[in-house]
Amino acid sequence: MNRQENILETIQMIAEDKLDIRTVTMGISLLDCADSDGEKAREKIYNKITSYARDLVAVATEIEQNLGIPIINKRISVTPIALVAGASQDTDYVAFAKTLDKAAKEVGVDFIGGFSALVEKGYTKGDRILIDSIPQALAETSVVCSSVNIGSTKAGINMDAVAKMGEVIKETAELTADADGLGAAKLVVFANAVDDNPFMAGAFHGVGEADVVIHVGVSGPGVVKRALEKVKGEPFDIVAETIKTAAFKITRMGQLVGTLAAEKLGVPFGIVDLSLAPTPAVGDSVAYILQEMGVERVGTHGTTAALAVLNDAVKKGGLMACGHVGGLSGSFIPVSEDIGMIEAVELGAITIDKLEAMTAICSVGLDMVAIPGKTTAATLSALIADEAAIGIMNHKTTAVRLIPVPGMDVGDEVEFGGLLGRAPILGVSEFSSFDLIARGGRIPAPLHSFKN
């Protein structure tokens, strides 16, 4: 009877609560593809990706059909290209991005991440070239995602890189103005970036990872909300236990999918990322979970406390269910991808300052936030610096994915389509941060970073 109940419950979670596996991501090391000849390096990269990932989509589809659970995205992450292309004599890395794009399309994945650089403490030649190449690379490819890590608790914040990334985001949006700045939606700026993140646009394959590995990112906001509907008015002790139980079930499904995929592909299983990832579909919203806890609209007073309960309980439940948890493992609140967040912005219930405050709890508080196209590069950099400061002071990952939509202002709305959804333009401060960003240099690591 228990087995039958579990099967029926799983069917309900998939059919009614929109439970899915958000991504199966294959991480591939490209370190052995480095070559002083850029053309040879790109040939090696293409051959390795298409060889290792040739069966990824077919295997994920087979698992999807056998288990009856949707796997929304099949993705690849690779070694930060700045580390690989840096061995070449090339002075522009757009060709490397095009190679990634071509390889990803050949094997049929939705996205490929890793057009990335790690510059928290300084630049190498390869880092500078890659960052300079980002706007053109994202304008000339369709499934390539890019990320740059500009700070860490151990190193502090590279403010020269922060200043540069404000300019890069601005230029990327302008080069893709015909698609409402969509290029910027494929660019993430991190502090304390992790090596095993399966989610785009920030995924890359860290140098400490195996040659090839399978990671899984779960979803399931609808499952958590449905569970909380059954404990209306109950104290937070019961709320936390209810979320833990739901998270346990969601994570078990993720581990099963990851284990099966790894076995069928003949590669190691890496981690399950516990992040609750929403979609624009009604009923698949992290914001709705917070509202089920008792806030009238996400963004009002008490939202950050509710988010803290959610994140902590999800992690506790997920850790009980899976021996290898990693990635970001925190609730995602991307404005354009969460129907509850979209509604909150439209009603004026949430501001960019509240999103920043929520970043103290989740990893990506300024995620898929559309802002006025007239926003200056210095203001973009200042927003990045604030998020990075929260990350390094709290020993946690923080990330920024801002889209200054060309030609749009507060009151307008941009439509990206698909999982990227739609976003009302959110206002930012009109006071200048130019002098702050112009200082450059490096914000020192905090005192509590010294643990040795």
Distance CA 80, CA 347 (A): 40
pLDDT at 12: 56
Q: Which CATH class is domain 2-191?
A: alpha beta
Which residue in 115, 196, 167 sits closest to 397, CA to CA? Answer: 196
- Residues 195-211: what's their mean pLDDT? 91
- Peptide bond just before 201 cis, omega within 30 deg: yes
As a whole number of angstroms, the distance between CA 304 and CA 383 comes to 19
The residue behind tokens 């094997």 is 107
Number of H helices, E strands in the chain: 15, 14
Rounded to 10 degrees, what is the CA torsion of 124, 401, 366, 330?
A: -80
Encode pLDDT of 100-159 as tens digits: 999 999 999 999 999 999 999 999 999 999 999 999 999 999 999 999 999 999 999 999
The CATH T-level fold of domain 219-449 is Anaerobic Ribonucleotide-triphosphate Reductase Large Chain (3.20.70)
The predicted pLDDT at position 18 comes to: 61
Is residue 261 within 8 A of residue 328, CB to CB? The reply is no
- Does the pLDDT value for residue 15 go beyond 70? no
Mean pLDDT of the chain, nearest integer: 90
Lookup result for tokens 């709890």: 361
What confidence tens digit (pLDDT) does each residue in 64-106 have? 888 888 888 899 999 999 999 999 999 999 999 999 999 999 9
| pLDDT of the residue at 69 | 83
pLDDT at residue 4 in the model: 45
**Distance set, CA 286 to CA 42, 70, 115, 187, 306 (Å):** 40, 19, 29, 22, 11
User: Mean per-residue pLDDT for 199-224?
Assistant: 90
Question: What is the pLDDT, as a whole number, of residue 10?
Answer: 57
pLDDT the model gives residue 2: 44
SS3 percent helix, strand, coil of the chain, rounded to 5, is 50, 20, 35
**Where is mean pLDDT largest: 124-128, 331-335, 344-348?**
124-128
pTM (2 decimals)? 0.92
Band of residue 222 on the pLDDT scale cut at 50, 70, 90 = confident
Look up residue 262 and give its two tokens: 């790894």
Tokens read off for 81:
């290209």
User: How many CB atoms sit inside 10 A of residue 64's CB?
Assistant: 18
Per DSSP, the three-state class of 164 is helix
Say whether 219-449 and 2-191 share the same fold.
Answer: yes
Q: How far apart are CA 317 and CA 421, in angstroms?
A: 29
Which tokens is 89 given? 């004599």
- In the chain, domain spans: 2-191, 219-449
